[in-house]
Structure 1
Amino acid sequence: MDSFNSAPETNLTFVRPAYFIIRGFVDIPDIKYYYVFLFFVYIMSVLGNAAVMALICLDHHLRTPKYVAVFNLAFVDVFGSSALVPKVLDVFLFDHPRIPFSDCLAFMFFCFTCLWVQSFNLVALSYDRLVAIMFPLHYPVKVTHRFMFSMIASFWLFVIVAHVIAVGFLTRLSFCDSVVLNSYFCDHGPLFRLACNDFTPSLVIARLITVLTLWIPLVFILLSYLCIGYALSKVATVQERVKAVKTCTAHLSLVIIYFIPILVTFTMNTNIHPNARIINLSLTSVFPPMLNPFIYVLQTQEIKASVRKIVKMRKRSKITMRKVMLK
């Protein structure tokens, strides 16, 4: 048992492993092409979200409370993708499946923190749309920079505290048998189920966090859009309804690509092959961060206007430089 570091003699039943072995994507033909695909998606995610953050910083017209949440979403996408994909490629593409115990817990903490902050960020954006459509005259008072910063900071604090508790309970578990994780990263559920002692507290915490960070945000978003739909039904003209709906299309697209794959995967959890589940979950982790910037660029008028403005400025600067060089 050289792969384990046993606890002191006073508690011989407690065993903490020196490392875990991540072993997903087993017996899948040509799986290396999938890893190359993940790398491509990661690069697109980083470049796209970095461009969105740069646009918001450079264009003062985008420095509104709504775009504080959009900036935070782009930041979380870059941070989360960078925490997950490079390590996944290192584990599977470069064949380094062993990950030390403490590194595995840190890996888990950062991945899940970013995943659940994304969920709450969609709540912030849905609240922004709810107030903008139902209380347009009160929007500048109800949705301020200070309010949006405070809401996002509270979301970060809650998610971080929740996952510190979840990870803390994992350190109380004894792993005296297998150290092989059938997943593509240090997944919370597969990890605590390897324990030899009672993992009920970790199971309860996992279910509680899932309710608090997935189901409650989803219910809030659905209720907010029911209220928005009711408010739009009272609008006199079809043109006004269409205009209001257009302001929500980007956010609705983000909600769909984030929540639907997660819900489908967990709903079919016992009915699909483990490899299919791992691939579904890995795609769920990497696809929304890649698609989010494209959705905002293509569906948000302010972002499109900012992009056009920057392109025009670059064209003008190139023309000016050519004229100077000709002189």
Structure 2
Amino acid sequence: MNLFNSALGKNITFVHPAYFEISGLFGIPNVKYYYVFLFFVYVISVLGNTVVMAIIILDHDLRTPKYIAVFNFAFVDLFGSSALVPKLLDIFLFNHRYIPYNDCLTYLFFCYTCLSMQTLNLVALSYDRLMAIIFPLHYQVRVTHRFMLSLIASFWVFVITVMFIVVGLLTRLSFCKSVVINSYFCDHGQIYRLACNDYTPSFVISVLLPLLIIWLPLIFILFSYLYIGYALSKVATLRERVKAFKTCTAHLSLVAIYFLPILITFTLMEKIHPNARIINLSLTSIFPPMLNPIIYVLQTQEIKESVKRLFKIRVQSKITVKKGTIM
């Protein structure tokens, strides 16, 4: 078997199944209520992120580097939810548990791409807050539209490249035994463990992925806020500290929403029931995109003022139209 898999340069016929079976949520008691919950979470996610994107497009005052990152965040949340939830509901609610091999890998690619971009977007926003608070006089020079667009574009290129490698390695695996994936979607770890030839490259990348996508972004964000906290401690007045900290509350809320459930789930992975772990991981993927737009609308002063301005302009235009009709 090792000789079979080691000859990477030779013509090898890999045994690819016609389909995979997704079985993660089947058999969980009263799980249909969870599907109803997921449906409403998805609807709110779509509406909320669409509204945030529309506000940023319509209000020229929000055409700043920070809101380029926020717009990308909302887009990724919208795209990620649409890639994951409808197919998840189709699989489990309508009992379409068999998914073709190529479709499964495509499903994996888009889900992992969006989940990875969500954490890297938090890095971009963290850097924006770091520059705005530590170097306020140089902020507009250091954080330009071009810089933010280049940063986000580099994140997209990096993530897409990594995910092509992930999927490419999976195509070099043979599946001659079980094709049952015990997860709520086409999970990378669950797939490569089903292979009957050597899956060491996929195992290595499964170790590197959390490091690149979760731990390094989290470490950068934590050190950024430690530095921000140290800088704020040097500010003379309490009022200035509070004012500076308020600009970070929305971002800190997003960081907590994304990373705390992941850390808790992976820390207690061996101690919790497999069904509970699957539910927790699915919530970790689905819940943040719903909360992100709510947090930004409620906690970000610029967006609240933008909503007021847009609403005021709409009301005034209606009044003008009515006056013109009466005259």
Q: Structure 1, unaligned stretches of length 5 or more?
A: 1-9
User: Which residue number in structure 2 is paired with residue 153 of structure 1?
Assistant: 153
User: SS at the partner of 1:20?
Assistant: strand
Quick one: which amino acid aligns to residue 179 of structure 1? V
- Structure 1 residue 196: deviation in Å? 1.1
Aligned length: 318
Q: Distance in 2 between matches of 1:18 and 1:111?
A: 21
User: Given the alignment of the two structures, is residue 228 of structure 1 paired with residue 228 of structure 2, yes or no?
Assistant: yes
Counterpart check, 1:245 vs 2:245: yes
Equivalent residue letter for 1:191: I
Q: How much does 1:230 deviate?
A: 0.6
Give the stretch that moved more between structures: 27-36 or 260-269.
27-36
Q: CA RMSD for the aligned pairs? A: 1.4
Give the Cα separation in 2 of the matches to 1:68 and 1:313: 23
The one-letter code matched in structure 2 to 1:151 is L
Q: Is the 8 A contact 2:26 2:92 kept in 1?
A: no
Q: TM-score, normalised by structure 1?
A: 0.95
What is the alpha-carbon distance in structure 2 between the residues aligned to residue 218 and residue 152 of structure 1? 17
Give, in whole Å, the separation in 2 of the partners of 1:66 and 1:11.
Answer: 50
Give 1:61's aligned residue: 61
Q: For residues 193-208 of structure 1, what are the structure 2 equivalents within 5 Å? A: 193-208=193-208
Q: CA deviation at 1:111?
A: 0.2
Give the counterpart letter for 1:171 in structure 2: T
- Give the alignment of 1:1-327 within 5 angstroms: 14-327=14-327
TM superposition shift of 1:28: 2.0
Structure 1 residue 254: Cα displacement: 0.4
Secondary structure of 2:21's aligned partner: strand
2-side partners of 1:321 and 1:208: how far apart? Answer: 60
Structure 2 counterpart SS, 1:99: strand
Secondary structure at the counterpart of residue 277 of structure 1: helix
Q: Matched residues in 2 for 1:37 and 1:319: separation?
A: 40
Distance in 2 between the 1:52 and 1:288 partners? 15
Task: Say if 1:26 and 1:275, in contact at 8 Å, map to a contact too.
Answer: no
- SS at structure 1 position matched to 2:27: coil
Tell me if the contact between 1:84 and 1:111 (Cα under 8 Å) persists in the aligned partners. yes
Question: Residue 320 of structure 1: CA displacement?
Answer: 2.9
Task: For residue 12 of structure 1, report the CA deviation from its aligned partner.
Answer: 9.2
- Contact preservation (8 Å) 2:108, 2:188: yes
Identify if the C-alpha distance between structure 1 residues 162 and 13 changes in structure 2 by more than 3 Å, giving closer, same or farther. closer
CA shift, 1:19, in A, is 0.4
1:241-263 deviation digits (Å, cap 9, x = unpaired) = 00000000000000000011111
Deviation of 1:308 (Å): 0.6
Deviation at 1:27, TM superposition (A): 2.2
- Over 3 Å counting, the alpha-carbon distance change for 1:11 and 1:149 in structure 2 is closer
User: Are the counterparts in 1 of residues 120 and 155 from structure 2 also a CA contact under 8 Å?
Assistant: yes
Assess if the C-alpha contact under 8 Å between 2:65 and 2:143 holds in 1: yes
Q: Contact 2:123 / 2:220 at 8 angstroms: preserved in 1?
A: yes
CA drift of 1:32 comes to 1.2
Between the aligned partners of 2:276 and 2:18, the Cα distance in structure 1 is 29
Structure 2, gaps ≥5 residues long? 1-9
- Matches of 1:90 and 1:211, distance apart in 2: 32
Instruction: Describe the superposition over 1:213-272 as per-residue Cα deviations: whole angstroms up to 9, x where unpaired.
Output: 110000000000000001001100000000000000000000000011111111111111
In the other structure, the counterpart of 2:4 is none
Distance 1:140 1:106 in 2: 40
